Amino acid sequence: MDDTKKMLRAIINGQSVFRQEILAKIDKLDKKLEGMINRVDEKLTERIDKLGMHLAYVDQLEQQPTSQRRVLPS
C-alpha cells in the first residue's frame, strides 16, 4: 500500500511539473505573438495612412479644373 501511494504521489508530482512547464511555454508564446501582432498592426496602420493620403491627393486632383491639373509623366 505504501508503494502504491509513493507511485501515485510521483505521478501527481510529475503532472504538476509538466503542467507548470506547459504554462510557462504558453506564456512565452503569448508574449511573442503579442509582439508580432503589434508589429503587424503598426505596419497595417502605416499602409492605411499612405492609402488615405493617396486617395486625398486623387480627390484633390479631381476637384481641380482640367486646365489646372498637372500631368504626370508616363
Query: Per residue in 23-48, pLDDT tens?
Result: 999 999 999 999 999 999 999 999 99
Sequence ranges of the domains in the chain? 2-62
Tell me what percent of the residues of the chain surpass a pLDDT of 70.
86
Residue 61's contacts (CB-CB under 8 Å, 6 or more residues apart) are 69
List phi, psi (to 5°) of 71: -95, 125
pTM for the model stands at: 0.54
Cell 507511485 belongs to residue: 7
d(CA 53, CA 65): 20
Q: What pLDDT was estimated at residue 32?
A: 95
- Residue 68 predicted with pLDDT over 80: no
What is the per-residue pLDDT for 74? Answer: 52
Q: Does position 3 have pLDDT exceeding 80, yes or no?
A: yes
